[in-house]
Amino acid sequence: MVPDMTEFQTRILTAAIRAPSGDNCQPWRFHFESELLVRVSAHFHRAKSFFDFEHRATALSIGASIENMRVQAASEGFATELAYAVENGGENYATLTFTRNEAMRISQARVAALFERTVNRRPFLPMAIHPSLRAQLLEEPVDGVMVQMITERRGISQWADVIEIGDRIRYSHPVIHEELFSKLLFNRQMAQDVRMGLEIDRLGVGPLGAMLLRWLRPWPRVQRLSRWGLVYALARQSGLLARFTGALVLITTGRTGSQNWVRAGEQVQRIWIKAQELGLQTHPMPVALYLDQRYHTEGLNDFLPAHNELLQRLRSRIESLIPTGTGVMLFRLGWGWPMRGQSVRLPLDRFLD
C-alpha cells in the first residue's frame, strides 16, 4: 500500500490503472482530495503518440480507468457519482465521489474480469456469437455513445478492408515506425525495468515473429523490404484477423469533445470487461479510425505524399460505413485461445499528484 493512502483508495487506484491505454502508455494521474473523492487527470507526456490526435486516445483511456474505479467501488458496496471537468483543453477530466450504497453492490466475478482483461492478437475462430451473449454485452449503454455489433460477413469484410488500408499507411510511416520500436520491450528484464510499453511476448507473434521484429528495427530495412511487399503482407495479416472473427464491435460518438471520448472509453471498457466475464476474446483495431480523423482534420501535413491515395480511399470507406458520428473504437470479438497474464504497470505512486 502507498503511504498515506487508505486500503480503499489503494484498491480503487489498483483497479484504475488496469485500464487499457495506447501502447501501454498509462496516461493517468489521480489526486485523492479525501478518502471518497478522487480527481482524474491526464499525463500528456506519457501519452504522446501519433495516434493520440487531439488527446482523444488519452480521453478514451481515462474513461476506461473511470469505469474500472466504478466497478471496484460497486463491488465494495459504493455508488459512484461522476462529474466531468469543463472542456477547456486542460489536463483535468473528471472527479469521482464514492457514496456507501449496498444496492449498487455487484458480483466479484465482474471485478475478477476487470483484472483478467487483456488484449488477444491471436487468430479467433470464425464462429458466430450467440444473440443472447451479444445482448448481454449491450446491457449497460453509456449516454451519448453508440455501439454497433457487426456480425454479417459482408459488414465484417468491409471493415477488414478499412483495417488493411489503415495498416498499409501505418507500416509505411517512418514516424509511427520509430514510435513503435521506441515502446517495444524485447525481454522480461526490460519490461520489469521500464514497466510501460509493449511487451513483445504479449503481441502474440511467437518466437519467430519476435526475431523478425528485432530484425526490422532499422527503418531503411523496412523501406527496402516494402519494395518486395512487406507492408502489403503485414496489412493483409491484419485484414485476415478481422475477417475471420465472430464479430466486430464499432463504437461511435456524436461529438468530438473530450467529455464524449471519456464517455466512449467508459463504454469500451464496460463491454470489454463483460466480454472477459463471458469468456470472449477481444482485440482493439482502431488505427484506421485515428489515421482518418487526423487526415480529415489536418490533411496531408503529417503524412507522406505517397499516402494520399490510400488516405482518400480510407476517408471514402469510413464515410460510407459511419455516415454520422465519429468512430472511437473498433475491435475484434470472438472465441480463441486466451492470452494469459497482464501487461506491466508502473508503481502506484507514479500515478499520484
203 confidence band (pLDDT: 50, 70, 90): confident
CB 334 within 8 A of CB 245: yes
pLDDT exceeds cutoff 70 at 116 = yes
**Arithmetic mean of pLDDT over the chain:** 95
Q: Provide DSSP, 47-65.
A: H--TT-GGGHHHHHHHHHH
Under the banding of pLDDT at 50, 70 and 90, the label for residue 111 is: very high
Choose between 340 and 224: higher pLDDT.
224
**Options 3.40.50.620, 3.30.590.10, 3.40.109.10, 3.10.310.30; which CATH number does 7-117+343-348 get?**
3.40.109.10
Architecture of domain 131-183+219-334: 3-Layer(aba) Sandwich (3.40)
Angstrom distance (rounded) from CA 289 to CA 51 = 10
Q: What is the rounded average pLDDT of the residues 99-121?
A: 95
The type of residue at 17 is: I
Terminus-to-terminus CA distance in the chain, angstroms?
A: 16
SS3 101: coil
Strand (E) or helix (H) holding 174: helix 174-183
The amino acid occupying position 235 is A
| The three grid cell numbers given for residue 341, joined into one nine-digit string | 497474464
CB neighbours of residue 306 within 10 Å: 10
Whole-number pLDDT of residue 88: 66
Q: Is the pLDDT of residue 346 over 90?
A: yes
**DSSP for 64-92, written as a single string:** HHHHHHHHHHHHTTEEEEEEEPP-SSSSE
Q: Return the exposure string of 77-102: e unless at least 16 CB atoms fall within 10 Å of the residue's CB, then b.
A: ebbbebebbeeeeeeebbbbbbeeee
User: In sequence order, what are the residues at sequence separation of 6 or more whose Cβ sits closer than 8 angstroms to the Cβ of residue 234?
Assistant: 167, 171
pLDDT (mean) for 332-350: 93
Residue whose cell numbers read 465521489? 97
pLDDT in tens, 272-330: 999 999 999 999 999 999 999 999 999 999 999 999 999 999 999 999 999 999 999 99
Distance CA 28, CA 34 (A): 18
Q: Exposed, middle or buried, 346 (CB in 10 Å: 0-12/13-18/19+)?
A: middle
Residue 222 makes CB contacts below 8 A (sequence gap 6+) with 171, 177, 216, 230, 231
pLDDT mean over 163-188 = 96
CA dist., res. 190 & res. 203, Å (int): 15
- Is pLDDT larger for residue 247 or for residue 86? 247
Which part of the chain is CATH 3.40.109.10? Answer: 7-117+343-348
